[in-house]
Chains A and B, each alone.
Chain A
Amino acid sequence: MTITHTVSTPTRSGTLGTNAHRPDGVAKVQGGFAFSSDMWSENMLWGATLRSPHPYAKIISIDDSAALAIDGVECVVTAQDVPGNPYYGLIMSDQPVFAAIGDTVRYCGEPIAAVAADHPETCKRALAAIKVVYEILTPVTNPQDCVSGIAPQIHPQGNVYRHQRIITGDQSIVGDVIVEGTYEIGMQDQAFLGLESALAIPDSGGEGLELYVATQWLHEDRKQIAACLNIPEEKIRLVLGGVGGAFGAREDISLQVHTCLLALKSGRPVRISYGREESFYGHVHRHPATIWMRHHADRNGKILKIESTMLFDGGAYCSTSPAVLINAITHTQGPYKCDNASVEGWAVRTNNPPCGAMRGFGVVQACFAHESQMEKLAAALGLSPVEIRLRNVMETGDRLITGQVMDSVAPVEQCIRETDAIAMPEPLSPNADIRQIPGGTGLTAQPGNIVRGVGWGVSMKNLMYSEGFDDYSTARCRMTDGVVSVKFATSEVGQGFTMLAQQIARTILGVDEVLLDTIDTQVGSAGSTSASRQTWMSGGAVKAACEKVLGDLFDHAAITFELSRDHVRIEETDIVDILSGRRIAVSEASKGVNLDRTEEYHHPPTEDLDENGQGNCHVAFAFVAHRAVVDVDVELGLVKVVQIATAQDVGRILNPISVQGQVEGGIAQGLGLAVMEEIIVKDGKVRNPSFTDYLLPTFLDAPLVEMVLIEEFEPKSPLGAKGVGEPPCISVTPAIANAIRNATGRELPRVPIRPYDICL
């Protein structure tokens, strides 16, 4: 790992800029960290969910009498047990808690009932004993039919989640060079390892409850749960159960309401823990998309105009489909200048599995299309992949196709040049270890058939929520007799925010020990752990709360120790009066002092897009370049990704190892989408809901990653840092696809690229 600019030199251990220790690290390596699936309570029942085997069917009747007769079964809940809003949803309240008699199920795996019993095996038998009579209907599975209007309406709220166009500039321009293509992106799963799990404990009075759950956004969950249960929000306390990864799949409600309903009905604690197959049905996935793009360029390779249509299949329920679509269409141009554009996007409802947030959130799909186009443009103009991109790089001050002016630090050119400067890997040796060649230990690749390819991908990604949404965050800082504690509702999903919060408090307050309060709803909302936003947003809130406490401490110290209030500052663990040079240890100054501040951080407001897709809809952006080197057995279609070189725009680096981990982890997920990961859906049914059939990158699939971190202080960010979580997984996918195209000469318009796409 190389860092190009260093903003500050870290000094004291555990402060900003250092590789601080994770507060959850020791428990995690010892196996004692309590994930939500490890939660347990005295007198606890197990819960399980009955799901539809049909993608589209009317429910005629539900008979649970045989299930209730099984010894050990405590209760069954169905739609008629939902006391409040029978629907939930992040943007549109359109997803039933349970499909009701007389209504339809709209996807294969939709919940119909839940049971609570004394043992997981009893639950299984009870589910099998519930008799549901269906009238099977013909599912809508082709999203194009929803655009053309020929599909029957499958939901009262219609089959179109959103239709939005972007029109800007001169539509009559025609380029000297025109390239086009239609690209397809398959349905990817977040595949976090820690399966969905929640434990609901009813209050002894029966009025409210406590829910321990692995989620990305405690307060949003609580809002939706309270509406469904018809219980005031203040009667429901959500506590973050240990989260085993998220990647977008925990933004939506899955088992939260079901677990609460069972606990309230039985009057006992209930835990639901999904298995892997159920997890594939229980959460939303990355949208499969079809994107047509046409680029017009002049003879020098300058992009003159982009035309595009994008179709996102949102599946049966809305989730975040409208926002995913807006992210996709507003990133049509990628990290390149473009004055003229015409883009039309659709996100539609079908009877396929519901889709929503996944790392990259719409930009992954758009990027695969525009980076495939850049490769075609380079070929058409006889330019190198690097040169075509350098001739179009976006800069700070450029106007985007939405009319928004890029006001983030935008080192796109530097990302490309630094990536280009990274040494290429050694050529494949004729005596290479079999573990290094395509097919690996399967011993299937013939060295003589292996061709090396190189490909590029560069991307832009918005940070934080967009389109007028005030996704603020809240933090509380207390200093009690010298002991500092920080509280927030920010979901720690593995990214390390709890560690960052301690780093911020140590740095600002000049202390070494920082306690972390429970992550729950007993403080204001933190917003979601998504959109690469928590370092910026919750980091900003923790910073603000700590600074308020520091101000209070300075007030106190100035009086008590006769310091000049306007001239005190923190140096290491001392308060220093720069006029007199006097130093008072923070530990000394804070004796007997009780300070307590709660602060919110709000980013600058954004706007909705108008009917022509114009508006300042995004907060900020980050950039990254990827160069992929692949070895391909062209006879068998096997691919080995040898090396990924990358330079990423990260703002100020707050924790180098954490950034490195995000970059390497994101690259592995982008590799997965490029060559192996896809939920295969046929006639509305998922065909591979298991880790045997849905393939994830293993240790042997992981490429060598050579990275450069471009550290440039982002003035708009409270800590100078940019979110680093999403960019690594975005342009690596087209980089790998372009490398395989380079090796094979094939167009390969679809990811994941399967062996038969290459060799047949």
Chain B
Amino acid sequence: MSAQELGHEIYTLKVNGQSHPVKDAWIGESLLYVLRERLGLPGAKGACEQGECGSCTVVMDSQAVCSCLVMAAAAVDTEILTVEGLGENGSLTDIQQAFLAAGGVQCGFCTPGFIVAVHHLLDSNPEPSDDQIRESLSGNICRCTGYGRILEAVKIVISQRGA
């Protein structure tokens, strides 16, 4: 891509509480691409590129979104939270711990998207029913687990938080 074609757009994204300047990006780049390839945040994954699988889930201004469907340049002035921004100082959140304890992780490709989605779910609804969990997470595809251990992980967190 020539410099002329790329333009010299420089914008700033606020990710996990930090400002990240984005330099020389092509204007058509998705938020997913910019996070992964320009900002060194590869936690969000690309698996379908059309908002069907949820592997790229991040939270943007308190809404869970598929970052593959968001133009990065359109995310200026929003607060973006990725899986890298969840635990403090490298520690695991209760949700991350529960995914490990319950066997909710196999290949792990869907895992970051699921973890972000579960954080978003339980932030907005601390005690969802099983049906609500299933519906809320039905935009995240997992090909390995059949979802049973992931459901178990979410229930562990709900029960721990309620205790």
Contacts and interface: CB of A to CB of B under 8 A. Distances in A.
B50 interface: yes
B52 A692 contact: yes
A661 B141 contact: no
A29 B96 contact: yes
Nearest to A125: B1
B138 A698 contact: yes
A28 B111 contact: yes
Contacts of B64: none
Interface in A471-505: 493-496
B107 A493 contact: yes
Interface string A314-340: 000000000000000000000000000
Contacts of B90: 30
B50 A690 contact: yes
A122 interface: yes
Nearest to B84: A31
A245 B103 contact: no
A194 B45 contact: yes
Contacts of B86: 30
B92 interface: yes
Contact of A38 (B36, B50, B52): B36
Contacts of B107: 192-194, 243-246, 493-494
Contacts of B82: 31
Interface stretch (B7-15, B72-80, B146-154, B155-163): B146-154
B59 to A, nearest CB: 13
B47 A193 contact: yes
A496 B107 CA distance: 8
Interface string B71-105: 00000000000111011001010001001101101
A669 B42 CA distance: 28
Interface string A190-205: 0111110000000000
B100 A22 contact: yes
A235 B158 CA distance: 53
Contact of A195 (B47, B83, B145): B47
A699 interface: yes
Interface stretch (A102-110, A367-375, A417-425, A433-441): A433-441
B135 A700 contact: yes
A700 B53 contact: no
A441 B145 CA distance: 23
A668 B146 contact: yes
Contacts of B36: 38
B147 A699 contact: yes
Contacts of B67: none
A667 B146 contact: yes
B48 A661 contact: no
Interface string A1-32: 00000000000000000010110111111111
Contacts of A195: 46-47
Contacts of B100: 21-22, 25-26, 29
Interface residues of A, number: 66
A657 B106 CA distance: 11
A691 B102 CA distance: 27
Greatest chain A CB density within 10 A among B105, B110, B149 is at B105
A40 B146 CA distance: 31
Given A38-B36, A692-B52, A25 B105 contact: yes
B42 A31 contact: yes
A621 interface: no
Interface in A114-143: 118-122
Interface string B29-45: 00001001100011111
Contact of B145 (A34, A35, A72, A664): A664
Interface in A665-717: 665-669, 690-692, 696-700, 702, 705
A665 B145 contact: yes
Nearest to A119: B1
Contact of A30 (B47, B87, B135): B87
A33 interface: yes
B46 to A, nearest CB: 7
A29 B42 contact: no
B138 A699 contact: yes
B65 interface: no
A562 interface: no
B102 to A, nearest CB: 8
Given A30-B43, A700-B134, A72 B2 contact: yes
Contacts of A242: 108
Greatest chain B CB density within 10 A among A19, A191, A496, A661 is at A661
A702 B138 CA distance: 10
Contact of A276 (B2, B48, B102, B148): B48
Interface in A301-317: none
B96 A30 contact: yes
A30 B96 CA distance: 7
Contacts of A436: 131
Contacts of B55: 193
A481 B71 CA distance: 54
A19 B48 contact: no
B148 A247 contact: no
Contacts of B127: none
A564 interface: no
A239 to B, nearest CB: 17
A244 B55 CA distance: 11
Contacts of B23: none
A71 interface: yes
B39 to A, nearest CB: 12
A193 B143 contact: yes
Nearest to B36: A38
B52 to A, nearest CB: 4
B131 A193 contact: no
Contacts of B149: 657, 660-661, 664
B52 A24 contact: no
Given A29-B105, A29-B111, A664 B147 contact: yes
Contact of B109 (A26, A194, A495): A194
A121 B134 CA distance: 37
Nearest to B37: A40
Greatest chain A CB density within 10 A among B100, B143, B151 is at B143
Contacts of B96: 26, 29-30
Nearest to A246: B107
A116 to B, nearest CB: 14
Contacts of B49: 275-276
Contacts of A30: 43, 83-84, 86-87, 90, 92, 96, 112
Contacts of A700: 134-135, 138
Given A31-B84, A691-B53, A692-B48, 17 more contacts: A22-B100, A25-B105, A26-B96, A37-B46, A191-B143, A193-B45, A193-B53, A193-B110, A193-B142, A194-B107, A245-B106, A435-B131, A441-B135, A495-B106, A668-B145, A700-B135, A702-B134
Interface of B: 1-2, 5, 26, 28, 33, 36-37, 41-50, 52-53, 55, 82-84, 86-87, 90, 92, 96, 99-100, 102-103, 105-112, 115, 131, 133-135, 137-151
Interface of A: 19, 21-22, 24-35, 37-38, 40, 71-72, 118-122, 191-195, 242-247, 275-276, 433, 435-436, 441, 493-496, 657-658, 660-661, 664-669, 690-692, 696-700, 702, 705
20 contacts: A26-B100, A28-B111, A31-B115, A72-B2, A193-B53, A245-B106, A245-B109, A245-B144, A433-B131, A435-B135, A436-B131, A441-B135, A495-B106, A496-B106, A664-B146, A696-B143, A697-B146, A699-B137, A699-B150, A702-B134
